[in-house]
Structure 1
Amino acid sequence: MSEKPFSPASERNRGPILTVLREWFADRTRVLEIGSGTGQHAAYFAAAMPQLLWQCSDRAEYLSGIRLWLDEAALPNAPSPLPLNVMGNWPTERYDAVFSANTLHIMAWHEVEHMFAKLPSVMTDNAYVAIYGPFNINGRFTSESNASFDRDLKMRGAHMGIRDATDVDALASKAGFDLVDDVAMPANNRLRLWKRRRM
């Protein structure tokens, strides 16, 4: 049997993220996680919030690892992960929440733009978007460790980099979402939440 993929960062940040999601997702029913990675967050959050259907998604090459975590957890509210490349086909189902962790700085900026533009097609009215990760504020890094991380990202790929909160907010606003919370998290990360405007 293949060994489950493991992210130490996911293990460390899952508790603080859950504290925020318990509040904002208390009345939610269906969550689409974009970029589920190893699947650790999905197994943990679905177990902790059984009222939610937690739908994983990621690029095809990551799905087998996600399935290992979900199969071991054997949760009725965590179905098999969906293949999702943000530049490709999106799910046809509708969700009242979207969650994504540590994805914006990995994607190219045009992919981030496309992701936000596509969100309304998979979301219900008054849905929430919650995105966790590092953000710059007013064009500046919030810590030396984030500046170093950004340099490391750009060495891995010129398209990568920590995104500025103002730029991401602009994409969200254009797609019909307003910022409703911005929570400082450990390790110089943030959990930013937007709510879809009533149409």
Structure 2
Amino acid sequence: MDDPRLYAPATRRNRDPILAVLRAILPEEGLAVEIASGSGEHVVHFAAQLPKLTFLPTDPGASARASIAAWIAASGVANVRPPLDLDATSPRWPIDRADALICLNMIHISPWAATEGLFAGARQILPPGAPLYLYGPYKRNGAHTAPSNEAFDASLRAQDAAWGVRDLEAVAACGEIAGFGWPEIIEMPANNLSVIFRRRDVP
């Protein structure tokens, strides 16, 4: 039988630095929802290391969801729910609540509407003070932070004109409109950033 698991080469390099940040910002218990889970390699790694949390992976792609389910089965982790079909741009998400939201490497490989939808959906399901964790490359003050990021941005835009490395300030402004405070920013390996938003306690 064919193995439906997908493999993202960068996962093994970045999963532990990301996990170190998640340990500091996620609640000890509760439900952590991952948006655009991709292969599923990240979520099973985080779940194995954070056993008191329950993780809910999501992805709009059928092949990705099959990969996620296969990784869950292969890993044997018991604190990951079956993957949900969720498109960040949808005005109604199939989730009522979450204690944290995780989104890795989606914003630059999706149209801007996905970023707007991410914040709108997060606003609906997160309680005040809960974290929305983003990871990936960003421009700062309109400029790339490394030549490698500039080349990556060009390659993304060549694939799809709606993709590309985003301005961190534009993402933060989008979050502010949706009711999130200015993010905490942590520099990560390979010229990536951890960007941590928290929902403000506003009506």
- Measured against the shorter chain, the TM-score band is over 0.9
Distance (whole Å) between structure 2 residues aligned to residue 86 and residue 164 of structure 1: 19
One-letter amino acid of the counterpart of residue 87, structure 2:
N
Q: CA RMSD in A?
A: 1.2
Deviation string for 1:108-150 (max 9, x for gaps)? 0122112212211121222110000001000000000000000
Deviation string for 1:34-86 (max 9, x for gaps)? 00000000000000001111110001321101111011122221010010011
Aligned residues: 199
- The answer as to 2:2 corresponding to 1:2 is yes
- The answer as to 2:143 corresponding to 1:140 is yes
Gaps of 5+ in 1: none
- The answer as to 2:119 corresponding to 1:116 is yes
For residue 38 of structure 1, give the secondary structure of its aligned residue in structure 2: coil
Distance (whole Å) between structure 2 residues aligned to residue 107 and residue 33 of structure 1: 16
Distance (whole Å) between structure 2 residues aligned to residue 20 and residue 40 of structure 1: 17
Show the 5 A alignment for 1:170-181. 170-181=173-184
Distance (whole Å) between structure 1 residues aligned to residue 50 and residue 59 of structure 2: 21
TM-score scaled by length of structure 2: 0.94
Map of 2:48 onto structure 1: 47
**8 Å Cα contact 2:27/2:99 also seen in 1:** no
Distance (whole Å) between structure 2 residues aligned to residue 98 and residue 41 of structure 1: 14
| More divergent stretch after superposition (92-101 vs 30-39) | 92-101
Determine which structure has the larger strand proportion and give its number.
Answer: 1
Map of 1:29 onto structure 2: 30
**8 Å Cα contact 1:117/1:171 also seen in 2:** no
Gaps of 5+ in 2: none
Map of 2:81 onto structure 1: 79
Q: Identity over aligned residues, as a percent?
A: 35
For residue 138 of structure 1, give the secondary structure of its aligned residue in structure 2: coil
Distance (whole Å) between structure 1 residues aligned to residue 95 and residue 44 of structure 2: 23
After TM superposition, give the deviation of residue 26 of structure 1 in Å: 4.0
After TM superposition, give the deviation of residue 18 of structure 1 in Å: 0.4
**8 Å Cα contact 1:182/1:191 also seen in 2:** yes
One-letter amino acid of the counterpart of residue 179, structure 1:
W
Instruction: Give runs of ≥4 in structure 1 deviating > 3 Å.
Output: none
Map of 1:163 onto structure 2: 166
Distance 1:28 1:124, change over 3 A: farther
For residue 185 of structure 2, give the secondary structure of its aligned residue in structure 1: strand
Distance 1:166 1:140, change over 3 A: same
